[in-house]
Amino acid sequence: MASGNPFGAEGQLTAAGGEFKYYRLQKLIDDGIGNIESLPYSIRVLLESCLRNVDGFVVNESDVHNLANWSAESPNPVEIPFKPGRVVLQDFTGVPAVVDLAALRSAMVRLGGDPQKINPLVRCDLVIDHSVQVDEFATKLSLQHNVEKEFERNQERYQFLRWGQQAFDNFGVVPPATGIVHQVNLEYLAKAVLTKDGVAYPDSLVGTDSHTTMINGLGVVGWGVGGIEAEAVMLGQPIYMLTPEVVGFRLEGKLPEGATATDLVLRIVQMLREHGVVGKFVEFYGPGLSNMSLADRATIANMAPEYGATIGFFPVDDETLNYMRRTGRTDAEVDLVERYYKEQGMFRTESSPEPSFTSKLSLDISTIEVSLAGPKRPQDRIALTDMKSHWHSDLSSTFGKQDPSPTHAPVNYAGQDFELKDGSVVIAAITSCTNTSNPSVMLGAGLLAKKAAEKGLTRKPWVKTSLAPGSRVVTDYLEKAGVTPYLDELGFNLVGYGCTTCIGNSGPLPAPISKAINDNDIVAAAVLSGNRNFEGRISPDVRANYLASPPLVVAYALAGTTDIDLSTEPLGQDKDGNDVFLKDIWPSQAEVNAALESSINPEMFRDEYGKATQGSPEWQAIDGGDGDIFEWDEKSTYVQEPPFFVDMPAEPAPISSITGARVLVSVGDSVTTDHISPAGAIKADSPAGKYLQENGVTPAEFNSYGSRRGNDRVMTRGTFANIRLSNLLAPGTSGGVTTYLPTGEQTSIYEASLQYKDAGTPLVVLAGGDYGMGSSRDWAAKGTFLLGVKAVIATSFERIHRSNLVGMGVLPLQFREGESREELGLDGTETYDIELDDNLKPGQAIRVTATKEDGTQVLFTVQCRVDTPVEVEYYRNGGILHKVLRDLAKA
């Protein structure tokens, strides 16, 4: 909390839960400081944080003045220190974060300091939700078997987390099979107002997953950061950011009959991607908010990474309070939220004046139509009525199938004979926090399944179906609504509670289906209620991936193909042989509303979350050991001490030029963190697969890259190894292949990096636009660093990955406007010299010389994307954690 009160803003607040101090924005208004009443609500949250934390060191009075005088037309690009109230982790990103904390303790001992200084200083919650995989499906035992395999595969990781749970203060773990981190955060962890040492202040957070923004639907400012930044926040450091632009998105009207929140968010993603909001805040306003449930708001906020914004914010209002009551929050908690936000002038009503925005968009919600998005990007929305024609167009233009007749392949599976062809839907998954947190679309799927089953419709035998809710409350209300038996009948049996298909944990397809797809070059499809459909993410066997609402997922499981117009063609025939169309089984909004009213109550949330931290008997039986210092096991293939702080000197070396660098990887536009970061299955013949086998792990025991994120030896070998990565230095190949330039030999990216390291050669990456778009994957930056990459030169960067590169001491450089690798004639075979010195400034111009093999030189200037003064210090220290460790050791 603040060590001073230079603005005299401290006040008293009386609520049902007691008396609280708070820092009054009204005092700034009274003193004529800034245009507070016209500020976007999201900016007011940042302003309160600065006002409360002024200490003359980390947060200065000038920071308050700068934010109070935020200009909508041209926000002053000054640095803001934002101190979030808490941190949320999921286990894929959380395990390496805890590994780094353990490594920091070991390093602190080596530096002669106190390891107890390494402790989360703000509340930190880790939700284990990324480890369950859909191995078994469409049976009543699917959940049991998948959970058994999850514990079997992840025992060592879970032991490590159990150690962390007892070793660190302010660190809580929500065990496996409880729910998805963002849904658990929305329904349980978030309070909307936090209290500490008798002070009340807005709930705010950062999370190690890009979809942390889901909490913006509750009026909570929060966004995804890399694990590196999150660890720094846990250790008391602020998030440093440039004053953001705020795009206002006006909503009016209400959803028409038949349309869902999923359809709405796909339209919003499309609009905001076209507008361009990368690195900006988006704040929703207008009369449409009063017609929108909080679950619908959370659906929209969840997909902020897909439209590129830092946050997608909805202010606190009456619906926020109603949602808190519906989800079992206490009367005292709700009363504090209402009183606090009204006292601060941060409570939205229909009569609230419109804030000032940098730019504006508007949408009449009544124009929304049923849609999907794909086949590779969330922003590529397709109206359901256009889906069939789009499929035929994509088959030729996107997937290179020039023959208009689809490829066919006969298959025998589970006692049935059928044909797979281009467009066959082989995965239909109700999954992901985006939609499983929204009861209207989940009950809509259940009601559609009921109507379909009653008419005798069945899923096609080649479709792998799954239901993976984001919390146990979902199964409670599905059962109470009486739709669970019908979902089961259509193969949508419960497979687990957690992130599954949306993050690539779809599990293997049945062998005959996988073989038919790969032997016959079939372009198979997946339809999922997720937020991500990037190439190579959902399944290695599936090339076309479509995002859709849960009811549409069920419909496509019945149809079994994307080569169909569901608005005019039948899904199948009923028991009497009559055609059944989608409109015949689509539930009305009145039916959905009736199910919502009768099947959900606050007691469900209180009951399920009252035992959320206990875990299953399997979890409780795990012994993680005790002690302050983790005992690293050299034989472990899951958890290893990373080399980041080993042999780290007490003082950093000066910043100096990068000379004689070679290109390790050269890629085009829209390369995602899915392409860079190790994810999904580990191939037996890959560098990571070979390492595991050399250490006694059989391919059947490989688990996934995500599960081994605590072992840098696996993860470094898997960096840039995605099967869909196209490295221009190795034309005609895909996956982790490059050319070792001194000899011209094609080899794995990892093996080439070792050869360059032995030769003392620094490395660079050349890239196109939107480099690093996608999830907040810290290993996309960590792996890049450990491969020996010193700089990435790109046309543009996605926000989180740029920040993560700096956080690992890798220099992000951006081509000037109008220039690119192609424009400059760079093919990646050059040797690069990058001119740097210890006086590096944020955003400065840097000269680069690329020398071709014939001695010809290409001289060009790039912009240093180390954006703030504190990032210069991070870069100088070799990374954000290196700076934190040195500061703590000195203290």
Backbone conformation region of residue 223, classed left if phi is above 0, alpha if psi is from -120 to 50, else beta: beta
Asked if residue 220 and residue 101 are part of one domain, the reply reads yes
Task: Give the residue among 263, 223, 269 at the shortest CA–CA distance from 249.
Answer: 269
The domain that contains 749 carries what CATH number? 3.20.19.10
**Averaged in consecutive runs of 10 residues, what is the pLDDT profile of the chain (891 residues)?**
78 97 97 95 98 91 96 88 96 89 94 91 94 94 95 91 93 95 97 97 95 97 89 88 95 97 98 95 97 97 95 98 98 98 97 97 98 96 97 94 85 96 97 94 98 98 97 97 98 96 91 97 96 88 97 98 98 95 98 98 97 90 92 94 93 97 96 87 92 95 87 96 91 92 95 97 97 81 97 92 92 97 96 97 97 97 93 94 90 78
Task: Give the residue among 64, 93, 352 at the shortest CA–CA distance from 208.
Answer: 93
Helix, strand, or coil (residue 29): helix
* CA pair distance 548, 384, nearest whole angstrom: 10
Say if 94 falls within a structural domain: yes
Say if 606 falls within a structural domain: no
Tokens encoding 692: 């595991």
Task: Kindly tell me the sign of the dihedral angle through the C-alpha atoms of 129, 134, 137, 143.
Answer: negative
- Supply the range of the domain harboring residue 517: 381-600
Asked if residue 315 and residue 261 are part of one domain, the reply reads yes
Asked if residue 128 and residue 62 are part of one domain, the reply reads no
Length of the chain: 891
Q: What are phi and psi of 482, to 5 degrees?
A: 80, 20
Q: What is the DSSP annotation of 174-195? A: EPTTSB-HHHHIIIII--SEEE
Say if 359 falls within a structural domain: yes
The domain that contains 227 carries what CATH number? 3.30.499.10
Q: Which of 66, 82, 98 is the last residue of a domain?
A: 82
Look at the block and give the residue holding tokens 């062998």: 511
Q: Which of 334, 367, 400 is the last residue of a domain?
A: 367
**What is the predicted pLDDT for the residue at 2?**
46
Terminus-to-terminus CA distance in the chain, angstroms?
Answer: 19
115 DSSP assignment: G
List the Cα angle 38/42/48 in 5-degree steps.
Answer: 85
Say if 745 falls within a structural domain: yes
Tokens encoding 205: 């957070």
Look at the block and give the residue holding tokens 């406007």: 817
Q: Which of 58, 82, 106 is the last residue of a domain?
A: 82
Say if 610 falls within a structural domain: no
pTM score of the predicted model:
0.86
Strand ordering across the sheet containing 10-15: 10-15, 18-23, 199-202, 193-196
Q: Which residue type occupies 756?
A: Y
Asked if residue 665 and residue 562 are part of one domain, the reply reads no
**What is the predicted pLDDT for the residue at 735?**
87
Asked if residue 443 and residue 403 are part of one domain, the reply reads yes
Q: CB 634: neighbour CB atoms within 10 A?
A: 6
Strand ordering across the sheet containing 281-285: 311-313, 281-285, 246-252, 359-364
Say if 639 falls within a structural domain: no
Asked if residue 202 and residue 70 are part of one domain, the reply reads no
Asked if residue 101 and residue 62 are part of one domain, the reply reads no
Asked if residue 704 and residue 569 are part of one domain, the reply reads no
* CA pair distance 17, 24, nearest whole angstrom: 19
Asked if residue 526 and residue 662 are part of one domain, the reply reads no
Asked if residue 164 and residue 92 are part of one domain, the reply reads yes
Cα separations in angstroms, 841 against 353, 785, 873, 879 = 40, 22, 10, 16
* CA pair distance 333, 342, nearest whole angstrom: 14
**List of residues 6+ apart from 161 with CB closer than 8 A:** 91, 94, 95, 98, 126, 128, 173, 624
**β-bridge pairing 281-285 and 544-547:** unpaired
Rg for the chain, CA atoms, rounded: 27
Total of domains in the chain = 4
Helices (H), 276-317: 294-302, 304-307
Say if 642 falls within a structural domain: no
Asked if residue 95 and residue 48 are part of one domain, the reply reads no
**What is the predicted pLDDT for the residue at 232?**
86
Q: What are phi and psi of 709, to 5 degrees?
A: -65, -15
Say if 648 falls within a structural domain: no
771 DSSP assignment: B
Whether the Cβ atoms of residue 549 and residue 529 lie closer than 8 Å to each other: yes
Asked if residue 393 and residue 446 are part of one domain, the reply reads yes
